[in-house]
Amino acid sequence: MKVIFVRQNPEYKEKAIKFFQKSWSEISPIIYEDCISNSIAAEQSLPQWYLLEKDEEIIGCAGLITNDFISRMDLYPWLCALFINEDYRGNHYGELLINKAKEGTKDSGFKYLNLCTDYIGFYEKYGSNISNKGIILGKKNPEFIRLNFKYFYAY
């Protein structure tokens, strides 16, 4: 089992783009192509994109980004796009990607790793807590919506 930091392993760029596009098909494919391609030589520490490889097969992904399509631009970085192939779920593989994002958060000098999700129960097992609210960008009715922003202590 290996967590791959795409920026440090640019030979994985095309695999990363394809895996993220397939895993998050509701997001326009050009978004991941552009984000991942431009992250390789980025001067700043963010964004960061990770793949999880088992027996030479990509089985998971996650990202560390500056904003996750929400109104709270004052909070960053954000864990995004965490995904494990269905056949491999239930084995704590997501934790490997979460830990890599925590490491990237700390190495970049940030104290917290943020997460916007409505999936309650999973992330709490890995040290998160609910603590804030904001507006999800792009919603038809942009009223103030309670979100589950979670903070991971990165230190």
pLDDT tens sequence across 102-151? 899 889 988 888 887 766 666 666 666 666 666 676 665 544 433 333 44
Residue-level pLDDT at 92: 92
Tokens representing 9 are: 């392993």
Please, is 88 exposed, middle or buried when counting C-beta atoms within 10 Å of its C-beta (0-12, 13-18, 19+)? middle
Position 120 scores a pLDDT of 65
Cα Rg of the chain, angstroms? 15
Q: What's the pTM value of the predicted model, to 2 decimals?
A: 0.85
Question: What is the spatial distance between Cα 23 and Cα 109, in angstroms, rounded to a whole number?
Answer: 29
More confident residue, 154 or 41: 41
- How does pLDDT run across 57-74, given as a tens digit for each residue? 999 999 999 987 777 788
Span 45-66, mean pLDDT? Answer: 97
What's the rounded Cα separation, in Å, for the pair 63 and 48?
Answer: 6
In 10 A of CB 72, how many CB atoms? 17
Half-sphere exposure in the Cβ direction for 122 (13 Å, CA): 17
